[in-house]
Amino acid sequence: MSTVAEGPARPLTQLSEDEKLFQASVRQFAKEQIGPHVRAMDEAGVFRKEILREFFELGLMGIEIPEEYGGQGGTFFQSVLAVEEIAAVDPAAGVIVDVQNTLVNNALLRWGNDEQKRRYLPKLAADTVGAYALSEAGAGSDAFALAARAADQGDHFLLSGRKLWTTNGAEAGLFLVFANANPEAGHRGITCFLVERDSPGFEVGKKEDKLGIRASSTCELILDNCLVPKSNLMGELGKGYKIAIETLNEGRIGISAQMVGLARGALEQALSYARQRKQFGKPIADFQGIQFDLARMATELEAARLLTYNAARLRDAGMPFLTEAAMAKYYSSEIAETVASKAVEVFGGVGFTKDCPAEKFYRDAKIGRIYEGTSNMQLMTIARQILGKP
């Protein structure tokens, strides 16, 4: 079991010059290009195609993809920085970049064969959104209780079933779909397939109308004898469970970054309002009650950031990070909701209205405790690790 003390020697919040420049450029882009459209996208429940196109042009959808495939050749930590900066402006935009980099690209880089990498990585870096389709109606926290089936037809598979809660489903051109090719073997029959949007028998179904991160699409996928060539089986037959587990361990660090960015955005809004809003003849920031709330919010945010950065640094260093990723995901999602809630209270009555940006952060925060492993699942992972249980 790894521990926080085993992390890289560099102070976790100390960035290299390249990381600082990257962070600053993403921050400026998020504020200037995403910020003006956040409210309209949230109300419409649709992400602007122009911003998605700019994500690709800036290289934000292929951060770790090697340059030979048209990507940026960057680090996992840079992906975390990008998600945090974008989520500080709009968590819905942050999760689009997160899923593309930490789940889809990452899975292909680790388990795709040479031909699959040559075929798909340049597209994912240039103009193709990716999606990760694991969950089903009966497979949430029990992720491997999959009803989706993959029938071997010689030179191809036929996939049947339904996938739910697929992030990026409305925009994606490539889907990582998990289905069981050998139900008698239980979870050891689960296999990962690369499914293109125009595959015969594949359909993107209902788009969910959500409480928060509304501009990020969450869709049902329908597999009606979906034809997938054998060449699109990723990794080994029956090893999809391993791909899912290990990819989600890294994806949770991305969600942690999203929640850190969300909490930072909420705190920044609360700080700005507290300095401007006057009651009893002075700014409310002069009152100790408000100061203490802001101080607690800042402390919790910094703790969540340190946990997240530590997990990301460990991953880039090739060191064990399972416990740290679970801790980061658990804690950052908890404090994001707390900080966003406190931000609403700092705004007072106006915080309860749609005109207040803190209201959206509060709605967006709720999903953090649920997707890519609920808080209870993170606690279970942490407990097993510290107790040395399998």
Catalytic residue set? 372
**Cβ neighbours, 10 Å, residue 289:** 8
Neighbour-count burial for 311-324, b at 16+ CB within 10 Å, e otherwise: bbbbbbeeeebbbb
